[in-house]
Amino acid sequence: MVTNLLDLDHDALVAFCGQLGEKPFRATQLFRWIHQRGVRDFGQMTDLAKSLREKLKDHAYVVAPPVAREHVSRDGTVKWLFDVGRNNAIETVFIPEDDRGTLCVSSQAGCAVGCRFCSTGHQGFSRHLTVGEIVGQLWWAEHALRKRLGTEERVVTNVVFMGMGEPLNNYPALVPALRIMLDDHAYGLSRRRVTVSTSGVVPMIDRLAADCPVALAISLHAPTDALRDTLVPLNRKFPLADLLGAARRYLDHAPRDFITFEYCMLDGVNDQPEHARQLVRLVRDARWAGLSCKFNLIPFNPFPQSGLKRSPDGAIAAFAQELTDAGIVTTVRKTRGDDIDAACGQLAGEVQDRTRVGERMAKLRGDTARAALSVVAPD
């Protein structure tokens, strides 16, 4: 059997090397070559014994999904369309900001949850992505962008699971993918800088807390079960009381001391001041006392079949003000990459002064005309 090494977290790679009669430290070396340096040709892994390189050629390969298309926005946002076979494509978006570079990754081709305002949901579910297809998005983006910038330093500083799919419905692939992203011998991202966004798969929120706690975003979108049932069908299975209870429990394990609630602003549907007041009462309910949270309001990104409209700016501002007045930290997501239809990613959050990251992001944003010309492969 031939194994795609992008599918293996460190423990699995140690086991794989064991099967080849190799010691665990070989796995660490391999892991670094693949993830830290973006090398997929075993022949180039010069500190591995020649005999091991030969064995690897027979038993393993390193392949991310092929890029079908790349779009670069005027603001530096990059969107890749990866071909995952059988007419399925997934999207990955990179968003350079002043102090960080955020990669928005997909976890499934399509999605079974079927939220009314989501174009992925309207497409239905095709299949789960493998670990290698999830990690491959980061592998590709990190090394393609480094190559473009001519740097050996980190470009992707944050990962958000806000592309296609419901990550907690693909749990067996999600957890190893997260472990690879967090591993110091791979991407070394901190738990606070990797965010899983979920529409509310309650049992899996508890499992994530136990297995691999990272930052959590919950797609709320409505203050009542009656309204949420119509927007997020999963709410009928896991209603708000169950969801907010799970959010509260998650905080006991989370790397951050708050949960982010995402709220898609839909004109005339969920954007009235009364909805904001209901939300405040909901998150302050004594049943989940101590649930500290922030709100991220997302202007709806329209698509033809939705029959929905984006809330006017004034309604979004008034809604944000209601929450802010109640003492809840609230941000409105900037729409980025609008010209390439790349509305994705949780763009609000912590602000850090990382000057060198800032320099690289500034360069990417100024570099778009040239970058748009070609797809740059990692190696």
Residue 302: CB minimum distance to ligand SF4, A: 14
User: Does the protein bind ligand SF4 through residue 104 (CB under 6 A)?
Assistant: no
Residue 39: CB minimum distance to ligand SAH, A: 31
The torsion of the CA quartet 278, 280, 284, 285, rounded to 10 degrees, works out to 0
Active-site choice (70, 91, 142, 262): 91
State how far the Cα of 183 lies from the Cα of 316, in Å rounded to an integer: 39
Side chain identity at residue 107, one-letter code: S
Contact pattern for ligand SAH over residues 8 through 47, marking x by CB under 6 A? ----------------------------------------
Nearest to 298 by CA among 117, 167, 158, 151: 117
Residue 110: CB minimum distance to ligand SF4, A: 8
Q: Which of 199, 270, 311, 330 binds ligand SAH (CB under 6 A)?
A: 199
User: Which span (70-78, 148-156, 197-205, 207-215) binds ligand SAH, by CB under 6 A?
Assistant: 197-205
Q: Give the CA distances from residue 237 to residues 221, 243, 260, 274, in Å, rounded to whole numbers and listed in that order.
A: 16, 10, 21, 25
118 is catalytic: no
Phi-psi region of 307 (alpha: psi -120 to 50; beta: other; left: phi over 0): left
Nearest to 94 by CA among 50, 155, 42: 155
Q: State which of positions 157-176 bind ligand SF4 (CB under 6 A).
A: 165-166
User: Does the protein bind ligand SF4 through residue 222 (CB under 6 A)?
Assistant: no
Alpha helices in the chain (DSSP H): 10-19, 24-31, 50-59, 119-123, 131-149, 171-182, 202-211, 225-231, 240-250, 273-283, 313-325, 355-366, 368-371
User: Does the protein bind ligand SF4 through residue 115 (CB under 6 A)?
Assistant: yes
Q: Which of 48, 93, 118, 214 binds ligand SAH (CB under 6 A)?
A: 118
State how far the Cα of 284 lies from the Cα of 179, in Å rounded to an integer: 33
Find which of ligand SF4, ligand SAH, none residue 39 binds, CB within 5 to 8 Å per kind.
none
Residue 343: CB minimum distance to ligand SAH, A: 6
Q: Which of 111, 168, 246, 247 binds ligand SF4 (CB under 6 A)?
A: 111
Comparing CB distances to ligand SF4, the nearer of 101 and 121 is 121
Q: Give the CA distances from residue 166 to residues 54, 95, 174, 219, in Å, rounded to whole numbers and listed in that order.
A: 39, 21, 10, 11
Find which of ligand SAH, ligand SF4, none residue 60 binds, CB within 5 to 8 Å per kind.
none
Residue 190: CB minimum distance to ligand SF4, A: 24
Residue 236: CB minimum distance to ligand SF4, A: 14
Comparing CB distances to ligand SAH, the nearer of 20 and 81 is 81
Q: What is the DSSP annotation of 153-186?
A: S----EEEE-SSS-GGGGHHHHHHHHHHHH-TTT
70 is catalytic: no
Q: What is the DSSP annotation of 19-63?
A: HTT--HHHHHHHHIIIIIT----GGG-TTS-HHHHHHHHHHEE--
**Tokens standing for residue 70:** 């790349």
Counts for the chain of helices (H) and strands (E), in that order: 13, 14
Find which of ligand SF4, ligand SAH, none residue 235 binds, CB within 5 to 8 Å per kind.
none
Comparing CB distances to ligand SF4, the nearer of 109 and 145 is 109
Give contact residues for ligand SF4 (rule: CB under 6 A). Answer: 111, 113-115, 118, 120-121, 165-166, 199, 219
Give contact residues for ligand SAH (rule: CB under 6 A). Answer: 117-119, 161-162, 166, 197-199, 219, 262, 264, 298, 300-301, 343
